[in-house]
Structure 1
Amino acid sequence: MKSTLTLIAIFVAFNLFGQDLIEFRGVDRSGYYPETGLLKQWPETGPELLLKIEGVGKGFSAPIVANSTIYVTGIKEDSIDILSAFNFKAELLWDIPYGRSWTRSYIDSRSTPTYSDGNIYVSSGTGQLACVDAQTGKLIWKVDAVQKYAGEIHRHGDAEAPLVVGDLVAYLVGGEENTMVAFNKYTGEEVWKSKSLGGAKSYASPSLIVYNNRKIILAQTTDNLIGINAENGEILWSYNLIQYHVKSQGVGGNTNPPLYHNGEIFVTSGYDHPGLMFSLSDDGNEIELKWKNETLDNHHGGVVLVDGNIYGANWQHNAKGKWVSVNWESGRTNWETEFVNKGSIITADNMLYLYEEKRGNVALAEPSANELKIVSSFTIEEGAGPHWAHPAIYNGKLFIRHGNVLMIYNISE
């Protein structure tokens, strides 16, 4: 497969010794990236484009970076999800097919890879979980997890980014026999299984929290938000989410990783489902609903927490939404306003990065409980299809993926 290189700055401008970007949506899958020294305003035409990599394959997934190598999934041939590795000269190092893509609707690759201890973990659109050597691209092990464990995938395919917990890879399968299965990350051997609470595998990737020295996996099926003991797969608690899916559209469509902070968990999923805040009991064995917010129903672009306020876009219908801020403690809506259309959001260095999904507008904004304070913006002109891939930040660089093209911008001061 071919890749092309656009050098708008000299390659030596890259400092490749920053913190690796090893999984979906940064630290704890929260949309937070621990970068500092970033631009607080961009030039009128946008930040400096350093690299453009074409030929990454059709996909909605985000890239990750480890050991100065970029890993990204995409469809380069019919019905096959392919994992590719590129260096920072935009040269293709290797690519490997790892599973069957989803072919019923929105067929682009969905799974963002996860890096751990020299290996890449990735899921196909039909629920095949694979482990690949990050240096050589050699397949180490693969399991057809959904089929093997009688799982069930919701109507638009598997979008999960596999979750590494120590020596385990935890993977949601859904269905009537199991909820989640954990595999030895080196061998692919089964370590534990969680019982089924019913419901198919929904779209949200699981996340890991550490609460009172206990590791708890937060997972969502089409029916429930579930807390799972990461050591043995025991289900600690569950909360029925589908009770709020009262309209015909979006039933079972739980879409975003939970947002966790100080013993509280926020979930949101578009389709006029209310945003829900939960509090964990002291022992972590129960949750209690703290508040509901009817304004912030994020479709699939994620939300972030900055200085006590949640930021993200809401859902008016599948092709339209506004941007919203909600107070974390009270659940009160701070503001709701338009910026072209709904989209995805991340945060770094006390700034917000918005990526609008319809026309590809990228905005830099200051967090504010009073208004949406856009500082700078520019438009993505390359690539095709919906702008659904979440942005990512690595070592002072902003990664924007649009379909078959990955663009890397210099946002360092």
Structure 2
Amino acid sequence: MGGSESEDQSVKVSDQVSSESIPTRKLRWKWGLAILFAGIGFTIYQWFQLAPDRTYQVFAVYGGIRNIFIGLLIWWMLISGVSWKARFKGLLGTILFFVLFFSLLRVESFEGDMVPRFQFRFLPTAEQRAEKYFEQAAKMPQESNADSSTLEVSPEDWPAYRGVDRDGIVRDQKIRTDWDVRPPELLWKHPVGSGWGSFAIIGDRAFTQEQRGEKETVVCYDALSGKQIWTHHDYVRFTEVLGGPGPRATPTFYDGMIYSMGATGILNCLNAITGELVWSKDLLEEEKLDNLQWAMSGSPLIWEDLVIVNQGIPQETSKVNPRSVVALDRLTGDKVWSGGKHKSSYSSPQLSILNEEPRLLIFHSKGLEGFTPQEGKSLWFFPWTNQAGVNAAQPIVIEPSSIFLGAGYGAGSARITIRESEQQAEPDVIEDWKSKSLKLKFNSAVVRDGFVYGLDEGILTCLNLETGKRAWKRGRYGYGQMILVNDNLLILAEDGRVELVKADPKKYTQIATFQAIQGQTWNHPALAQGKLFVRNSEEAACYDISDAAK
């Protein structure tokens, strides 16, 4: 008995000594909390002080999350004070969380401010839904009532990007605005291939561009039924992380032909009635040029016997000087001239009358340049750029000698005056004013009665063209697009809804709204014969909103 008690006491003493010899580990939580608060604080500072626009604010958040994560990882593995077993368990748990998250979800796309949109992986992609739709449609009769004899432009047609003058203004059409009483009448809606272009509509035909698998496709639809009439395919595919796959430009109709610019630089001339290829040019391949980061996006411009388009970027190994614009014979595709000395961007060529003379306006990466359309002679240049080197909005001639232009990524907007005379060797380019308001990232503005209306980082803004002062800023539409119909702004928001807002410099007044399509929408709306055509990279639809409709 005595021996047993002695052994028990010995064990107790041994356990006590053993427990005292093992140091107690304490979580050094204050260090982790300090890293978290410091990271959040610095991110908030960047949001308000360093970020010039919404995109840079989002980038600041991304950078803040990255820095906080790295800081907490270093704290947990090196400073936290917990056992190494706990540290590696925590690290393994974090890795498993991210593996599980991205096993269940995929990044479907990015919004205009670079915020990702997630979707469950078990759901079909937009491309898969479109592919299934066209497989089913191919098995069904595709009879169309569209006139197949001739196509001629009427005042109520929409033959090109943003309308006949590329100014986003609807003329010779009346629409109803009492959508609560007489809502827009859906004529058709169905999936389409990926792409960020809009429609050209002539008579009862609607033309657009889509990516269908590995084929970049020009499509002709029956405007009243949405049935496919013909397609033309090029076996190319462009895709990138932020914008996704598909062509970016809108086809142009002229004199019975459709002119299309593909994302990889393939310029096609097609018979608008049959879809038969007249001629085709691979501009990047033939001129030994590289593509733009987000692809060739400028819609072809027709002036007299020329088709005018943006060019790509000279390759590093090439000794050719930059040429931001090229003109081809519209009937043969033969090169007529090329001009400009600045890197191309995403705005489309614009033909306007300045000082009573036709002038070609090219808004490239470094600024706005004016040319003679006949021979491509550069006349003047106005520098207007941003950190990203991206100019995508259309310039607007607001008076016989004045131009409004805007850009995103913190650049803002400006009004310039071009003074030309026979006595001057070179025109004078005068900056009338500049403003941080109306940062047009990749959406264009419209002008009415001395005021310009546009989406300033997604918020509708009215600006006085005489002073550059903001009249008001209201309503959130994301990176959508707009057109002007009489005295109303018709806005196709980034989430696919359509709204009517009064083009009134005194106040913001919303008139009507409805959800037109689903999915991320950067495409321009088109209005022809009282019918509204909308699309994105997932689906397209046509609504009758004419004033005569019942």
Q: Please classify the TM superposition score into its range, dividing by the shorter chain length.
A: 0.7 to 0.9
- Report the counterpart of residue 334 of structure 1 in structure 2: 471
Q: Percent identity?
A: 26
- Report the counterpart of residue 305 of structure 2 in structure 1: 167
- Report the counterpart of residue 447 of structure 2 in structure 1: 305
CA distance in 1, matches of 2:172, 2:542: 16
Measured on the aligned residues, the alpha-carbon RMSD in Å equals 2.2
Over 3 Å counting, the alpha-carbon distance change for 1:3 and 1:95 in structure 2 is farther
Over 3 Å counting, the alpha-carbon distance change for 1:55 and 1:322 in structure 2 is closer
Over 3 Å counting, the alpha-carbon distance change for 1:101 and 1:222 in structure 2 is farther
Equivalences, count: 386
CA displacement at 1:44 relative to structure 2: 6.6
Aligned amino acid, residue 451 of structure 2:
N
CA displacement at 1:46 relative to structure 2: 4.2
- Report the counterpart of residue 486 of structure 2 in structure 1: 349
Over 3 Å counting, the alpha-carbon distance change for 1:148 and 1:407 in structure 2 is same
The SS at the match of 2:285 is: helix
- Report the counterpart of residue 294 of structure 1 in structure 2: 436
Q: Which structure carries more strand by proportion?
A: 1
Over 3 Å counting, the alpha-carbon distance change for 1:259 and 1:100 in structure 2 is farther
- Report the counterpart of residue 374 of structure 2 in structure 1: 231
CA displacement at 1:297 relative to structure 2: 0.3
Aligned amino acid, residue 324 of structure 2:
T
Moved more, 342-351 or 151-160: 151-160
CA distance in 2, matches of 1:165, 1:17: 18
- Report the counterpart of residue 83 of structure 1 in structure 2: 218
Matched, 1:374 2:522: no
Over 3 Å counting, the alpha-carbon distance change for 1:290 and 1:44 in structure 2 is same
Task: List per-residue Cα deviations over 1:71-92 (Å, max 9, x = no partner).
Answer: 11101122x3200111123221
CA displacement at 1:192 relative to structure 2: 1.2
The one of 277, 295, 310 aligned to 1:139:
277
CA displacement at 1:126 relative to structure 2: 1.4
The SS at the match of 1:147 is: helix
CA displacement at 1:18 relative to structure 2: 5.8
CA displacement at 1:102 relative to structure 2: 2.2
Asked if the contact 1:160/1:203 (under 8 Å) is kept, the reply is yes
- Report the counterpart of residue 342 of structure 2 in structure 1: 198
The one of 171, 188, 192 aligned to 2:333:
188
CA distance in 1, matches of 2:155, 2:394: 25
Over 3 Å counting, the alpha-carbon distance change for 1:381 and 1:237 in structure 2 is closer
- Report the counterpart of residue 8 of structure 1 in structure 2: none
CA distance in 1, matches of 2:329, 2:436: 41
CA displacement at 1:3 relative to structure 2: 8.1
Over 3 Å counting, the alpha-carbon distance change for 1:365 and 1:239 in structure 2 is same
CA distance in 1, matches of 2:192, 2:270: 17
Larger radius of gyration: 2
Matched, 1:257 2:419: no
CA distance in 1, matches of 2:476, 2:509: 10
Over 3 Å counting, the alpha-carbon distance change for 1:381 and 1:121 in structure 2 is closer
Aligned amino acid, residue 100 of structure 1:
V
The SS at the match of 1:226 is: strand
Asked if the contact 2:479/2:522 (under 8 Å) is kept, the reply is no
The SS at the match of 1:89 is: coil
- Report the counterpart of residue 178 of structure 1 in structure 2: 323
The SS at the match of 2:439 is: coil
Asked if the contact 2:369/2:382 (under 8 Å) is kept, the reply is yes
CA distance in 2, matches of 1:377, 1:285: 46
Aligned amino acid, residue 222 of structure 1:
S
Task: List per-residue Cα deviations over 1:357-394 (Å, max 9, x = no partner).
Answer: 1x222101111112221001112344x4x211111110
Over 3 Å counting, the alpha-carbon distance change for 1:361 and 1:90 in structure 2 is closer
Aligned amino acid, residue 542 of structure 2:
I
CA distance in 2, matches of 1:135, 1:123: 18
Task: List per-residue Cα deviations over 1:285-320 (Å, max 9, x = no partner).
Answer: 3422111111110121210001211111112xxxxx
Asked if the contact 1:26/1:33 (under 8 Å) is kept, the reply is yes
Aligned amino acid, residue 407 of structure 2:
S
Task: List per-residue Cα deviations over 1:333-359 (Å, max 9, x = no partner).
Answer: 1111233534211111221101111x2
Asked if the contact 1:63/1:70 (under 8 Å) is kept, the reply is yes
The SS at the match of 1:30 is: coil
CA distance in 2, matches of 1:369, 1:143: 46
CA distance in 2, matches of 1:290, 1:239: 12
Which one has more relative contact order, counting CA pairs under 8 Å at least 6 apart? Answer: 1
The SS at the match of 1:158 is: coil
CA displacement at 1:68 relative to structure 2: 2.0
Over 3 Å counting, the alpha-carbon distance change for 1:98 and 1:121 in structure 2 is farther
Task: List per-residue Cα deviations over 1:4-60 (Å, max 9, x = no partner).
Answer: 7xxxxxx99xxx9762211000132111011333113212794111222x2431121
- Report the counterpart of residue 107 of structure 2 in structure 1: none
Matched, 1:392 2:535: no
Matched, 1:61 2:205: no
CA distance in 2, matches of 1:137, 1:342: 33
Aligned amino acid, residue 309 of structure 1:
F
Aligned amino acid, residue 400 of structure 1:
V
Aligned amino acid, residue 82 of structure 1:
T
- Report the counterpart of residue 255 of structure 2 in structure 1: 117
CA displacement at 1:108 relative to structure 2: 2.7
Aligned amino acid, residue 268 of structure 1:
G
Aligned amino acid, residue 449 of structure 2:
D
- Report the counterpart of residue 7 of structure 1 in structure 2: none
CA distance in 1, matches of 2:451, 2:233: 41
- Report the counterpart of residue 40 of structure 1 in structure 2: 177
The SS at the match of 1:338 is: strand
Asked if the contact 2:497/2:517 (under 8 Å) is kept, the reply is no
Structure 2: stretches of 5+ with no match in the other structure:
1-133, 138-144, 147-152, 314-320
CA distance in 2, matches of 1:407, 1:93: 16
Aligned amino acid, residue 314 of structure 1:
D
Asked if the contact 2:415/2:433 (under 8 Å) is kept, the reply is yes
Matched, 1:27 2:164: yes
CA displacement at 1:404 relative to structure 2: 3.6
CA distance in 2, matches of 1:405, 1:227: 37
- Report the counterpart of residue 544 of structure 2 in structure 1: 410
